[in-house]
Amino acid sequence: MSLDTVAIAQSTPENIQPFAQLGLKPDEYARIKEILGRRPTSSELAMYSVMWSEHCSYKSSKVHLKQFGDKAPKSDALLVGIGENAGVVDVGQGYAVTFKIESHNHPSFVEPYQGAATGVGGIVRDILTMGARPIAVMDPLRFGPADAPDTRRVLPGIVAGVGGYGNCLGLPNIGGEVIFDETYAGNPLVNALCVGVMKHSDIKLAKAAGAGNLVVLYGAKTGGDGIGGVSVLASETFGAGGSTKRPSVQVGDPFVEKILIECSLEIFAEDLVVGIQDLGGAGLSCATSELASGGSGGMKVALDRVPLRDPSLSPEEILMSESQERMCAIVAPEKLARFLEICAKWDVTVTAIGEVTDGDRLVITWNDEIIVNVPPRTVAHDGPVYNRPIKQPAYIDDVNSQRVNVPIPNSAAEIKATVLQLAATPNLADKSWVTSQYDKYVQGNTIQSQPDDSGMIRIDEQTHLGVAISTDANANWSYLNPYQGAKLALAEAARNIATAGARPLAVTNCLNFGSPEDPGVMWQFSESVRGLADGCLEMGLPVTGGNVSFYNQTGAVAILPTPVIGVLGVIDDVRTRTPMSFDSAGLELYLLGDTYEDLAGSEWAFMHGQRVGQSPTADLAREMRLIEVLLAGREEKIFSAAHDLSQGGLSAGLTEMVLRHSIGATITLDNVGISLLSETPGRVIVAIVTSKAEALKTLANKYQITLSHLGTTGGDALRINDAVIPLDELRTAHTSTFPKLFG
Amino acid sequence: MRVGVITFPGTLDDRDAARAVNAGGAEAVALWHADADLKNVDAVILPGGFSYGDYLRCGAISRFAPVMKLVIEAAGKGMPVLGICNGFQVLCESHLLPGALTRNSDLHFLCRDQEIEITNTKTVWTSSYSEGQKIVIPLKNGEGSFQCDDDTLAQLEGEGRVIARYVGQNPNGSRNLIAGISNARGNVVGLMPHPEHAIDTLTGPSAQGLGFFTSILNAMVK
């Protein structure tokens, strides 16, 4: 295998290079040649190809995502915004919290366990890279039909992967979603969120500053896993060696990552790094070019010093490898000795592979021969930007013009049957089969986790300060109206944390869509981004970062537009949160918010195979007033419990509340069918002791939120008008579905 | 009263165990797997986690850690030792306790609030409880099924060395519903569920796990 150096590239401009097999378009290849003033070396081509990929460069989404900056609300809470590894938010008392959500969809379909596991590993490293101790994870998941044979392969593997990695890292899993729809059959969605905490002064950034400072690679050795197109590169152009096909799904080792976390936190605590970057997608190509771009631009790396698991790897493969559990730090020479000592304590492999230089070129050598000499910004940030064609798909007018036509229960028998059916349907059924495979207790700070409305973690044991997070998406609404769908998901996530009494502070998102080359998908995407940006501006919540996952489609069928929105909030005293359910009889139940005939996009419509009608319109001003009611109600100690209504409406909400502590309720409803099934957004059930009724009315009046009495708690059944649903029967319906499906 | 809490690489519940020790009224002392002394502690806890990534077998590598040599020596002289979850596995691998913990019978990691019955209150780790007392504490592991040969089982039962049993349906296939055992002397106890995650109702299912940590304090003060 001959080495392609800059000198050779200069002298052999005519060499044909496999840019197309690496995913680069002819004009992109031409642009690289223009930037360099010559053809790229094979190593440079490798770097540009991975860094200019959709995944790394956001080339189809960039023009839209910039709205998050343009429409950013004024926020005092934002300490680090979009562009770094993760956003950082001020939560008071000197604490900063960083959180982000990312997708690992495609690998998880190919190899569910490792795909999901490394999805968790990647997002945890992003959080660690900011200087924070990771404190919890969440995982919104979406699968094909629950009873499809392939779901039985994909779901258990993904759940075991999320658990296997997160449990071994010692990170409590505090929530997520498990949703089924046939469009996800060939494209399961594995989104992973991580949250971390640090003191303000400990924030770290990805920048390589200070000529003479060292570039230090530490963590796992580099192997041949996670290399995508490079086998093409190696075999077609450089190919005498007959390189083997290597897996393009990364293989994770959570034990190594756990060690890496503890080792890194010890290094951070002694202030031994100038800048830091984890190695995730695009591996060393990404880390070196982003670190150099974050500084003045100059960096020299001796690639042959990278410790290898497989000594036969070529320089191109080393640059593209996505081997997990690796970090790259910029360290002042005088601090190297201590850095090495801490790595030795944790048995972590560490190697100085280069140094920061004056000038603005990233130069990479292989046995002293120059194989890369590029302006790093052109690799990391100046990738192509596409303004893809956008066209509203034909289905929109069609589905929007139809009305949902589903049976509406009325008699006692119909009401009972409907409540039981909703309790048992896979999207609403009890998810303990999944969540019992996740450690929710480790670290000893978990205040709320599944099935609560949001996850809540205590961050200070003395002051009781905590954060709450929720992730939400309603892809059915987004399908009917992506602009409203994104706003509604934002509102729901914010409401979910406010229900417990936490004030929403900031937003992250994971935008899962089909192919950007389909103008219809691009329309769904652009409308979703516009909706989310408008919504965040109106609610005063800054977007701190996120992730776009395109190409989630099988043939011509794209997944439902699935913008997963995560909202993080702060609560000053976790001891006084409002719990999700009541644990005593004799409480009064009220509904905050109006109920209309909102069946379009509802779970009941989905169960009847109907994805038609018009989604609700988000009324964010009202949502914000509702949030104020929820926060004030917690502060004034009015609520005994509060539970958000979303999928499955009042029926699902009541089911979850009565089963939580096995205390029934007696409910009286007008227009009982619609009342139970409608999914009008902006509604919360609250439980209060009778003496708080006046205070609740005053509060609802003050914020102009409709208040209606639902009934009282107690008994061993859920009674709705004439229908009596014994709790045992309801519990059996709710909890049998997953064990029946997945063993 | 100083209680050492050992951190192996991959240990996860060390800070939780230290918190529980302090909540129980003793002083938690951090011990590192490579330490060559026990820092004058009066008792030792081996917390849960995935020490050495559970490579080979759970606990199989940790038993060779330098600090374990000292723990085994001290346990022989009567020092109280509590192994929780992965710590229990390490104690079995170290032969301080008999038997082994194998894959849960349904092959899944299982995290849930588990009711257990305290069946021996004579050990230094269980004296705060009353005989037959039922408590709810978290169970969370992938390899929690206690197995041993028939003779060992007969001996454990005959000598009253089963210190805790699962109540209700067997969660993981453990023989005789065994959740925890002690050595013959009663100073070394292994427990699969996690009392350190049940020291207050804010973060745990109950505060009923605290008894393990007040027991040791009482035992030492006497």
- Cβ <8 Å between A258 and B19: no
Q: What residues in B contact A438, CB-CB < 8 Å?
A: 109, 111
Catalytic residue selected from B58, B143, B194, B197: B194
Nearest CB neighbour to B111, from listed A164, A346, A439: A439
Closest A-chain CA to B112? A436
The residues that bridge with A328 in the sheet, in sequence order, are A217, A277
A503-512 and A543-549 strand pairing: parallel
With 70 as the cut, is the pLDDT of residue A475 above it?
Answer: yes
Assess whether A709 carries a catalytic annotation: no
> Rounded distance, CA A319 to CA A4, Å?
14
- Would you state the pLDDT for residue A542? 95
* Angle at the Cα of B37 from the Cα atoms of B33 and B39, rounded to 5 degrees: 105
- Segment A203-233, tens digit of pLDDT: 888 888 899 999 999 999 999 877 754 434 4
Assess whether B194 carries a catalytic annotation: yes
> Rounded distance, CA A617 to CA A623, Å?
12
Nearest CB neighbour to B108, from listed A255, A346, A437: A437
Arithmetic mean of pLDDT over chain B: 96
- Segment A167-210, tens digit of pLDDT: 999 999 999 999 999 999 999 999 999 999 999 988 888 888 89
**Exposure string over A493-503, b if 16+ CB within 10 A, otherwise e:** bbbbbbbbbbb
Beta strands in A645-722 (DSSP E): 665-667, 684-688, 707-713, 717-720
Which A residues, 626 through 665, put their C-beta within 8 Å of a C-beta on chain B? none
> Rounded distance, CA A439 to CA B139, Å?
9
- Segment B57-97, tens digit of pLDDT: 899 899 899 999 999 999 999 999 999 999 999 999 999 99
Domain boundaries, given as residue ranges, for chain A: 6-61+205-380
Kindly report the number of other CB atoms within 10 A of residue A687's CB atom: 26
Comparing CA positions, the residue from A660, A197, A116, A655 lying closest to residue A469 is A197
Q: Is residue B20 a contact partner of residue B60, using CB atoms and an 8 Å limit? A: no
Which B residues, 95 through 154, put their C-beta within 8 Å of a C-beta on chain A? 106, 108-112, 138, 140, 142
The amino acid present at B169, given as its one-letter code, is Q
Coil vs helix vs strand at A109: helix
Structural domain of B84: 2-221
Nearest CB neighbour to A440, from listed B13, B111, B202: B111
CATH of the domain at B146: 3.40.50.880
- Would you state the pLDDT for residue A1? 52
- Would you state the pLDDT for residue A235? 35
- Would you state the pLDDT for residue A582? 97
Q: Measure CA A672 to chain center.
A: 37
Kindly report the number of other CB atoms within 10 A of residue A288's CB atom: 30
The fraction of chain A above a pLDDT of 90, given in percent, is: 86
Lowest mean pLDDT among A55-59, A176-180, B34-38, B73-77: A55-59
Q: Measure CA A337 to chain center.
A: 37
Which A residues, 146 through 185, put their C-beta within 8 Å of a C-beta on chain B? 160, 163-164, 167-170
Contacts of B64 (CB under 8 A, 6+ apart): none
Comparing CA positions, the residue from A605, A594, A617 lying closest to residue A684 is A594
Comparing CA positions, the residue from B214, B198, B196 lying closest to residue B16 is B196
Comparing CA positions, the residue from A310, A529, A426 lying closest to residue A740 is A426
- Segment A365-390, tens digit of pLDDT: 999 999 999 999 999 988 899 999 99
Radius of gyration of chain A (CA): 26
Q: What is the mean pLDDT of residues A253-258?
A: 93
Assigned CATH class of A6-61+205-380: alpha beta
The amino acid present at A509, given as its one-letter code, is N
Quick one: pLDDT band at residue A244, thresholds 50, 70, 90?
A: very low
- Cβ <8 Å between B50 and A442: no
Residue A561: DSSP 8-state: P
Quick one: pLDDT band at residue A242, thresholds 50, 70, 90?
A: very low
Q: Is residue A516 a contact partner of residue A58, using CB atoms and an 8 Å limit? A: no
With 90 as the cut, is the pLDDT of residue A296 above it?
Answer: no
Comparing CA positions, the residue from A213, A575, A613, A550 lying closest to residue A388 is A550
Residue A346: DSSP 8-state: T
Q: What share of chain B is helix, strand, coil (3-state, %, to 5)?
A: 30, 25, 45
- Would you state the pLDDT for residue A228? 58
- Phi/psi at B49 (nearest 5 deg)? 145, -155
Q: What is the mean pLDDT of residues B130-149?
A: 97
Coil vs helix vs strand at A349: coil
> Rounded distance, CA A617 to CA A681, Å?
9
Coil vs helix vs strand at A513: coil
Catalytic residue selected from B93, B117, B143, B196: B196
**Residue A20 or residue A85, greater confidence:** A20
Arithmetic mean of pLDDT over chain A: 93
Coil vs helix vs strand at A646: coil
**Exposure string over A197-214, b if 16+ CB within 10 A, otherwise e:** bbeeebbbbbbbebeebb
> Rounded distance, CA A727 to CA A729, Å?
5
- Would you state the pLDDT for residue B18? 98
CA dihedral sign of residues A27, A30, A35, A36 = positive
With 50 as the cut, is the pLDDT of residue A463 above it?
Answer: yes
Shortest CA gap A228–chain B (Å): 28
Comparing CA positions, the residue from A642, A661, A651 lying closest to residue A707 is A642
Q: What is the mean pLDDT of residues A130-154?
A: 96
Coil vs helix vs strand at A371: strand
**Residue B219 or residue B171, greater confidence:** B171
- Would you state the pLDDT for residue A633? 97
Comparing CA positions, the residue from B60, B83, B71, B59 lying closest to residue B180 is B83
Note whether B57 contacts A: Cβ–Cβ < 8 A.
no
With 50 as the cut, is the pLDDT of residue A241 above it?
Answer: no
- Would you state the pLDDT for residue A632? 98
Q: Which tokens go with A724?
A: 């009596």
> Rounded distance, CA A583 to CA A159, Å?
31
Coil vs helix vs strand at B28: strand
Shortest CA gap B83–chain A (Å): 16
Q: What residues in B contact A167, CB-CB < 8 Å?
A: 50, 109, 140, 142
- Cβ <8 Å between A347 and B9: yes
List alpha helices for A402-499, DSSP H: 412-424, 432-435, 475-480, 482-499
Note whether A463 contacts B: Cβ–Cβ < 8 A.
no
Query: How many domains would you assign to chain B?
Result: 1
Is residue A457 within a helix (H) or strand (E), and if so which, with residue range? strand A455-458
Contacts of B201 (CB under 8 A, 6+ apart): B207
Lowest mean pLDDT among A107-116, A258-267, A456-465, A577-586: A107-116
Catalytic residue selected from A55, A64, A643, A734: A55
Q: What is the mean pLDDT of residues A535-550?
A: 95
Q: What is the mean pLDDT of residues B182-211?
A: 97
Assess whether B85 carries a catalytic annotation: yes
Quick one: pLDDT band at residue A247, thresholds 50, 70, 90?
A: low
Q: What is the mean pLDDT of residues A673-688?
A: 98
Nearest CB neighbour to A444, from listed B50, B140, B203: B203
- Segment A568-621, tens digit of pLDDT: 999 999 999 999 999 999 999 999 999 999 999 999 999 999 999 999 999 999
Q: What is the mean pLDDT of residues A93-113?
A: 93
With 90 as the cut, is the pLDDT of residue A21 above it?
Answer: no
- Cβ <8 Å between A170 and B13: yes
- Segment A311-334, tens digit of pLDDT: 999 999 999 898 889 999 999 999
Closest B-chain CA to A442? B13
- Name the maximum alpha-carbon separation found in chain A: 88
